[in-house]
Amino acid sequence: MHAGPSGRHLDRSRSVDASNRAVGHVRSRDRAGERSKRHAPVAAVRLRVDAGLFLIVLASIALRQPFTLQHAREKVAEALRNSPHFLRVFYAMTFAWALAFAAMVAADLLTT
């Protein structure tokens, strides 16, 4: 024990312990900041990938070759491949993918 300026006895171990807790709190906040800095590049990559996929889907629609169509043509009989209904279905599926990728880009922008 140590006598303080007021003449009262102070327990140094308590004040040192409180000081260490305060420093530990600051350190844990610093570590949390470091973690968020490490995750920032991941979020940036995710945004670029999602935006790239969105642009690919839009380009495939603009070029009149929906990106889902190639896979379907490999699996479906030739008689069905050339029907207008078949093409409409795959344009609809490609638009659905475009909406999904647009939503992912929007979510990435909100969390970045």
Residue 54 contacts residue 109 (beta carbons within 8 Å): no
- Residue 48 has a CB neighbour count (10 Å cut-off) of 12
pLDDT in tens, 48-57: 999 999 999 9
Residue 94, pLDDT score = 92
Residue 75, pLDDT score = 84
- Residue 13 has a CB neighbour count (10 Å cut-off) of 9
Torsion angle, alpha carbons of 75, 80, 84, 86, to 10: -30
Residue 51, pLDDT score = 96
**pLDDT below 70 — which residues of the chain?**
1-39
Global pTM reads 0.60
